[in-house]
Structure 1
């Protein structure tokens, strides 16, 4: 037997992992642990496309609610959805389109296209802004006195206020130092138009039950029409032509605030000085609106002060064929179909509540109008989508659209009026609504004031959303 065959065989040595293999296993383990930890501490950030898709879904759902609202409340109107923002409001085939546009040589159309996203952003913004022209606005706005003030003064003889002293003299009679009224100051407000349809339903007591009532131009308020339009008188928005005739119209209502819609000049100022009523100049200049006229401006004015805005006498009924007023003969006026469609859109966006003869026997049920929560979500979605489209951060908040910032001392300047006012005007009841102490305001107004940090917001020009002038109120010693 050979030597090799006589030696017993040894078992193979045990397998020993290499250092490299051990390091590899350790690395895999660490990565697994980090992956598990990251799933708890750092969630994946959605992409911009995913964020936009979420907003589109929210708005598409909201469009469906608006469509249902129009079908329920539109008095014959229907809403066709184009996409998540755009829709078309249509009148029934055969609607009597008798309004002829001489400029374009066409009869008034039976359908109107709207951008719901832009509309809801604009009107929710109006709930926070000031719609009365003030001295602080002219002081803070760039070239406010040189350029803007001149646009509000007729018969100036110049396109700019090169003579600021003259412009201040012409405006001071109706220029308060700061906003005389607060957002949310009133819970419910009635905006009363002048349509002849008001004579079809006795809305008088219902109108008078509101916290504040807004009226237009020379509309009479007396016992003859009381059961139709009420007797309560708080605010009146007038064009400059009507302002000349206000002395007899306002007789017996010395604390009804008068707001002149467009311009002022020496003739109007002479009338103003003889009135005991508070008088202001309207600030909200919004162009390219879906409805025109003083009534539309009255809604803007009311929305800047009121939580709920009820609209009467804006002629929202099918079958409307001529422009009528409840106190005078029919006359030429604004396009009725266009206005009616736009007011219906505003109702289904929760901006106003329409009241008309066709709803005279109605039950006060607004469940078919989108809820405040639905409107809030749609507003946030429209805001974020718009900011993404223009490449800006989508931070929500009341100051996200402030184009100009300024600071004024809260105690500077006269409340309103000038030193040469008659005794009647100087001693009039300015304190009924104007510049109320914060503690006298309703809780909702106080809360809004706190949320805004005491900052006042004003529109600059047109329909632009990112053109606000924002004014802080801080003592100079602070």
Structure 2
């Protein structure tokens, strides 16, 4: 290692048509006003054509929310910002004890930032690897220590000790690749699932992502399916890994938070691949393991369908399909953000109120519209931050490094025979020529560079690792 610096109802109410027409007139007015403002300044960051492209996306997004939002509406503020609003009278039950208020009925979003963020996820690695720690200047001393529980120190002053903790779950380079799978299902744990029979549909996906201790068995098969490929678990659930996997030897287990001495003892007895989530920390409009599973899926799937998330009107309590109701994440905030992501083409939502009709994704802005808006949003951001030139996906690379060869496969000498004789390392040895064509093409377009997100709440500061081809 060398370190260098897509059927909506066919008939829509007349009032919706009128509203959409009015929104088009409003958007055109916004374009005119904003264009005259920006083009009138010699220091303008965005011109008439850029405003038109972004405003066109905002209008399409507004139409998408009106058609698919199950009561939500989108109010445009400017070419980048909008507000998603719930109808008056929506039952707001989530109480914030700190601010002594119930969750609000409207949420403001910056669409330009959202486009940039989620396109970045499609190009990123979300599994912690040895190359990330080696390339990042403070990788072993500071970052590694944050991922080890009960280390006894806030930094890895003893690198050998830290490596001993992490070796079991630390592949040399990314075990998964962008575009590796065509279709993926992310299955949440919501009680919504018991109102549907999506099981067979879920199992038809190339890969299925599940959370924590969600059971997969014949009892719930018609609701959640039986296919199991990836499971993202928090620290509490990870303590019970063997019971969660329940004999599923090929299901990839990904620990969300930190590795623990007790986990290592259990991992040595498992035949399954086990990794550590790369640990991106970003403030966004939805929280929880389900959101992290979407991030994970976006980094290796072309199309991401989500099931079992709290999205339908009237849903006022966070539940699990396999346990009694419990308090959880605020449902209104999550539902609004997922709707934004669907109308940006990031995910596709499946829920009880959409189960009885054929899904038609034509309401979602086309890939061409989103791609054009992404180009403009990226140019705008780079002008605002003083970046010069077009560096493509590498404009935010703050740290560069080079990876020579394959490096060591994760593991240790004292693994059990069960794990030694399993195919736990099959993902780490996947050859490029065995990946689907789209994944190979993406790898070539990126020049063999893997992108990692550094911690923080900004889009910037990537760790970029060049692999020898």
Q: TM-score if structure 2 supplies the norm length?
A: 0.89
Aligned partner of 1:231 in structure 2 is: 226
1:381 maps to 2:376: yes
Aligned residues: 429
Asked whether 1:449 is paired with 2:443, we answer yes
Partner of 1:342: 337
Counterpart of 1:313 in structure 2 is 308
Distance change in 2, residues 1:416/1:321 (3 Å) = same
Give me the whole-angstrom Cα distance separating, in 2, the residues matched to 1:97 and 1:200: 22
Q: Following superposition of structure 1 onto structure 2, how do residues 195-206 of structure 1 map, counting pairs within 5 Å?
A: 195-206=190-201
Do the aligned partners of 1:380 and 1:396 also contact (CA within 8 Å) in 2? no
Q: Distance in 2 between matches of 1:394 and 1:384?
A: 10
SS where residue 367 of structure 1 aligns?
Answer: helix
- Structure 2 distance, partners of 1:132, 1:85, is 31
CA deviation string 1:92-151 (max 9, x = no partner): 100000111111111011000111001110000000000000000000001100010011
**Greater relative contact order (CA < 8 Å, ≥ 6 in sequence):** 2
Quote the offset at 1:431 in angstroms. 5.7
Give the aligned CA root-mean-square deviation in angstroms. 1.5
Judged with a 3 Å threshold, the aligned counterparts in structure 2 of structure 1 residues 435 and 60 are, in CA distance, closer, same or farther, namely farther
1:272 matched residue in structure 2: 267
Match for residue 364 of structure 1 among 359, 365, 387? 359
- Following the alignment from structure 1 to structure 2, what is the Cα–Cα distance between the partners of residues 94 and 157? 52
Unaligned runs of 5+ in 2: 1-40
Structure 1, gaps ≥5 residues long: 1-45
Which residue in 2 is equivalent to 1:194?
Answer: 189
Question: What do residues 301-340 of structure 1 show as CA deviations (whole Å, max 9, x unaligned)?
Answer: 0000000000000110000111110000000101110000
What's the CA shift for 1:434? Answer: 4.1
State whether residues 180 and 436 of structure 2, in contact with CA within 8 Å, keep that contact through their aligned partners in structure 1: yes
Equivalent of 2:398, from 403, 423, 444?
403
Equivalence for 2:121: 126
Confirm or deny that 1:81 pairs with 2:81: no
* Alignment TM-score, normalising by the size of structure 1: 0.88
Shift of 1:409: 1.0
Partner residue, 2:171 = 176
The aligned residue for residue 105 of structure 2 is: 110
Partner of 2:411: 417
Q: Distance in 1 between matches of 2:427 and 2:109?
A: 36
Matched, 1:69 2:73: no
What per-residue deviation string (whole Å, max 9, x for no partner) do you get for residues 336-393 of structure 1? 1000000000001110000000000121310010111111101001000111112222
Rounded Cα–Cα distance in structure 1 between residues aligned with 2:423 and 2:313: 43
Structure exhibiting the larger radius of gyration computed from Cα positions: 1
Cα deviation for residue 287 of structure 1 reads 2.2
Is contact 1:81–1:87 with CA below 8 Å preserved after alignment? yes
Q: Mean Cα displacement is larger for which, 260-269 or 426-435?
A: 426-435
CA contact (8 A) 2:173 2:406 kept: no
Instruction: Note closer, same or farther for the CA distance 1:431–1:146 as it changes in structure 2 (3 Å cut).
Output: closer
Structure 1 position 438, deviation (Å): 1.2
Q: Is the 8 A contact 1:384 1:394 kept in 2?
A: no
Asked if 2 retains the 8 angstrom alpha-carbon contact of 1:458 and 1:469, the reply is yes
Match of 1:471 in 2: 465
Q: Does 1:98 align with 2:93?
A: yes
Question: Any conservation in 1 of the 2:310–2:318 contact (CA below 8 Å)?
Answer: no
**Is the alpha carbon distance of 1:372 and 1:239 closer, same or farther for their aligned partners in structure 2, counting shifts above 3 Å?**
same
Aligned residue number for residue 35 of structure 2: none
- Report how far residue 51 of structure 1 moved: 5.0
**2:295 matched to which residue of 1?**
300
What is the CA–CA distance in structure 2 between the aligned matches of 1:94 and 1:432, rounded to whole Å? 53
